[in-house]
């Protein structure tokens, strides 16, 4: 509960400081993951949903927040909140490519204790995740985003994620 209060307060402050910015709401779906060089079986079908709020949406540089939930690699429900930023790097005919990064807290009870033992930031069962992203944004409002969790453990050498969203 404390985590959600902190998240709500941070989002409120973040939103209040950006009211004049170009704002865009998006709704999306978490789809799949790919575990690089796994030493165990992982669930790589990760259905879920999220809502995000982007600031400076029509600008070259944009940033925002995202809140969602999905079925994780251990076949359990994960809730998360994250911040993101990205920059448009390539203009195509009816779309463009954006490169960016994300950072947020993801609910992983199976991992939080190990993460805490090695000194990685955790809040209860929520583990900090940071990584780069690549987004293909189409002029019709649809995004397809590839994310990377560049972790290195005995179980996996990194995780790619795929999600899609549309503006509303």
Hey, where are the domains in the chain? 2-167
Which pLDDT band, with edges at 50, 70 and 90, does 12 fall under?
A: low
Question: Which whole number is the average pLDDT over 36-45?
Answer: 95
Please give the structure tokens belonging to residue 96. 């463009």
The CA distance from 64 to 104, in Å, is 12
Question: Which whole number is the average pLDDT over 70-97?
Answer: 96
Residue 22: its pLDDT value, please? 85
pLDDT for residue 10 is more than 80: no
CATH class of 2-167: mainly beta
Which positions ≥6 away from 117 have C-beta within 8 Å?
Answer: none
pLDDT for residue 18 is more than 90: no
Please give the structure tokens belonging to residue 27. 């709704």
Closest CA to 81 of 8, 137, 23, 134: 8
Which pLDDT band, with edges at 50, 70 and 90, does 56 fall under?
A: confident
The CA distance from 100 to 89, in Å, is 10
Helix, strand, or coil here: 105? strand
pLDDT for residue 9 is more than 70: no
Residue 3: its pLDDT value, please? 60
Which position has the token pair 């709704």?
A: 27
pLDDT for residue 132 is more than 80: yes
Which positions ≥6 away from 8 have C-beta within 8 Å?
Answer: none
């Amino acid at each position: 509960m404390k985590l959600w209060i902190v998240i709500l307060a941070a989002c409120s402050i973040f939103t209040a400081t950006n009211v004049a910015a170009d704002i865009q709401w998006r709704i999306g779906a978490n789809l799949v993951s790919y575990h690089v060089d796994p030493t165990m079986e992982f669930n790589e079908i990760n259905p879920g949903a999220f809502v995000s709020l982007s600031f400076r949406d029509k600008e070259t540089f944009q940033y925002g927040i995202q809140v969602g939930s999905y079925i994780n690699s251990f076949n359990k429900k994960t809730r998360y909140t994250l911040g993101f930023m990205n920059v448009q790097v390539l203009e195509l005919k009816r779309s463009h490519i954006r490169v960016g990064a994300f950072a947020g807290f993801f609910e992983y009870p199976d991992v939080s204790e190990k993460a805490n033992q090695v000194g990685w930031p955790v809040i209860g069962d929520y583990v900090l995740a940071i990584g780069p992203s690549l987004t293909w944004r189409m002029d019709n409002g649809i995004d397809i985003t590839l994310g990377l969790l560049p972790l290195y453990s005995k179980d996996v050498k990194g995780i790619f994620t795929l999600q899609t969203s549309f503006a509303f």
